[in-house]
Amino acid sequence: MLTTARLAVFGGVLVLLAAGGFAVGNAAGPVPVATSENDEHAGMTEAAPQEHAGMATANDLPGGLASSRDGYTFSAPDPTPEPGRFSFTITGPDGKPVTAFDVEHEKRLHLIVVRRDTAGFQHVHPEMAPDGTWSVPLTLPAAGSYRAFADFAPTGGKPMTLGTDLSAAGDYRPETFAPSHTALVDGYRVELTGELAAGTTSPLTLTISHDGEPVTDLQPYLGAYGHLVALREGDLAYLHVHPEGEPGDGKTPAGPQVKFATAVPSAGTYRLFLDFRHHGVVRTAEFTLTTAGTPAPGGGHRDDHGH
């Protein structure tokens, strides 16, 4: 997550989704995969990497679907964290907690937490202790199963997104989300123009207004005027996109429009979450888009972040 028009998936162009292609859509069902025990409930079964021909390994999965990749593991000792606190480690190929991370968009690690029905989205930034333990104030807002995504780049390694499961006890009441191109949040109206289309790059423009007036003084948040996370409904395969241009480059306006370029190789329904900052407050606008088309040949370029 370094500069303009970057995303957490296919390099060069902003392509959804990471690490191996996203060639299988929701209609195709779960992908058998060798991954960690935390991923069992996600509709995938554990298997040895070469047990069956055509099986994907954890290194071939889209971002966030595996807890381990390239020797790194997202480990949360307590999958049912106490309200107000959450701790975890990222262990490296030597099995020890990693303590050296590159700073990307002003942070060494970005943590995204969302319930599996895509409700309760949170984007937070933990702090790391000298021993490599990350901690962050976190409360799961309602009962259900959640997915936590750690988006980071270990120093000397490539950027990646790992996922692990969390849960909150209680009466689970799943939510559904109709297709939407308009979001209302705290008096702000955000209009999304454009569509996601499988196999081709598509422009997305987010236009922000407040009380009917265009917002032209957006404030930088983590080095950009907007951050867009997209999650595919069903398996929650993950993408983190950053907009075209950057604050202070002399050509990127501070609103009302924030522009992204995205290409999705798989048809399906995606939930999009735009973080933007105005008057010192970060707000999140939510959208639901359904794509048409078929997967691109080969599923695209393998890369978690596409710098």
The domain that contains 88 carries what CATH number?
2.60.40.10
pLDDT of res. 264 = 65
pLDDT of res. 188 = 98
Residue 174 inside a domain? The answer is no
Residue 13 inside a domain? The answer is no
Residue 24 inside a domain? The answer is no
Which of 136, 168, 200 is the last residue in one of the domains? Answer: 168
pLDDT of res. 121 = 98
The tally of domains found in the chain comes to 2
pLDDT of res. 257 = 97
C-alpha dihedral (90, 276, 242, 175), degrees to nearest 10:
70
Residues 153 and 266 grouped into a single domain: no
Residues 150 and 41 grouped into a single domain: yes
Beta strand 33-34 pairing with 56-57: parallel
Residue 36 inside a domain? The answer is yes
Residues 164 and 186 grouped into a single domain: no
143-182: b (≥16 Cβ within 10 Å) or e: ebbbbbbbbbbbeebebbbbbbbbbbeeeeeeeeeeeebe
Residues 263 and 240 grouped into a single domain: yes
The domain that contains 246 carries what CATH number?
2.60.40.1930
Residues 37 and 95 grouped into a single domain: yes
pLDDT of res. 167 = 96
Domain that holds residue 100: 29-168
pLDDT of res. 265 = 57
Which of 122, 143, 168 is the last residue in one of the domains? Answer: 168
pLDDT of res. 293 = 60
Residues 101 and 139 grouped into a single domain: yes
Residue 307 inside a domain? The answer is no
pLDDT of res. 19 = 33
Residues 188 and 139 grouped into a single domain: no
* Residue 117 neighbours by CB under 8 Å, 6+ apart: 144, 174, 175, 176
Residues 281 and 198 grouped into a single domain: yes
Report the length, in residues, of the chain: 307
Token code pair at residue 108: 């060494």
Residues 186 and 164 grouped into a single domain: no
Residue 273 inside a domain? The answer is yes
Residues 94 and 130 grouped into a single domain: yes
Residues 107 and 221 grouped into a single domain: no
The sheet carrying 269-278 orders its strands as 238-241, 227-232, 269-278, 281-290
Residue 251 inside a domain? The answer is yes
Residues 102 and 124 grouped into a single domain: yes
* Tens-level pLDDT at each residue, the chain (307 residues): 433 333 333 333 333 333 333 333 333 333 333 333 343 333 332 333 333 333 445 555 667 899 999 999 999 999 999 999 999 999 999 999 999 999 998 999 999 999 999 999 999 999 999 999 999 999 999 999 999 999 999 999 999 999 999 999 999 999 999 999 999 999 999 999 999 887 777 899 999 999 999 999 999 999 999 999 989 898 998 888 889 999 999 999 999 999 998 766 588 899 999 999 999 999 999 999 998 665 444 433 333 443 3
Q: What angle do CA 22, 11, 221 make, to 5 degrees?
A: 100
Region of 120 (left: φ > 0; alpha: ψ -120 to 50; beta: rest) is: left
pTM of the model: 0.78
pLDDT of res. 240 = 83
**Shortest CA distance to 147 belongs to which of 89, 77, 231?**
231
Residue 173 inside a domain? The answer is no
103-115: b (≥16 Cβ within 10 Å) or e: ebbebbbbbbbbb
